């Protein structure tokens, strides 16, 4: 998680294509949400991205099992 955070903190994303170039396994859902798999999918992080302002809001961090219980588009 710390390595992911360090990466994201310095990222410059202007569009979803920029995210996909850096994280091929990132999943895009509605409302500008992106799901990242951490530690081989053991953990999931959902973020909301405001590309115009270069802001990434962490909306959820949890295990894969916990992730299955939330709606990634609305969390």
What residues make up the domain containing 47? 2-67
The answer to whether 46 and 27 are in contact (CB under 8 A) is no
User: What DSSP state is assigned to residue 52?
Assistant: G
User: How confident is the model over 29-40, as pLDDT tens digits?
Assistant: 999 999 999 988
pLDDT at 17: 96
Question: Is 73 inside any structural domain?
Answer: no
Work out whether the CA dihedral 41, 34, 16, 7 comes out positive or negative: negative
pLDDT at 75: 94
Tokens of 33: 């949400």
Question: Is 74 inside any structural domain?
Answer: no
Question: Is 75 inside any structural domain?
Answer: no
Question: Is 72 inside any structural domain?
Answer: no
Q: Into how many domains does the chain fold? A: 1
User: How confident is the model over 8-36, as pLDDT tens digits?
Assistant: 999 999 999 999 999 999 999 999 999 99
Total H helices, total E strands in the chain: 3, 4
Query: Greatest CA separation found in the chain?
Result: 32
Question: Is 44 inside any structural domain?
Answer: yes
């Amino acid at each position: 998680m710390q390595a992911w955070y360090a990466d994201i903190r310095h990222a410059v994303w202007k569009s979803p294509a920029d995210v996909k170039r850096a994280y091929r396994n990132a999943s895009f859902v509605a409302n500008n949400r992106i799901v990242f798999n951490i530690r081989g999918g053991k953990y999931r992080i959902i973020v909301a991205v405001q590309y115009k302002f270069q802001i990434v809001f962490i909306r959820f961090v949890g295990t894969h099992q916990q992730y299955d219980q939330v709606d990634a588009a609305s969390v």
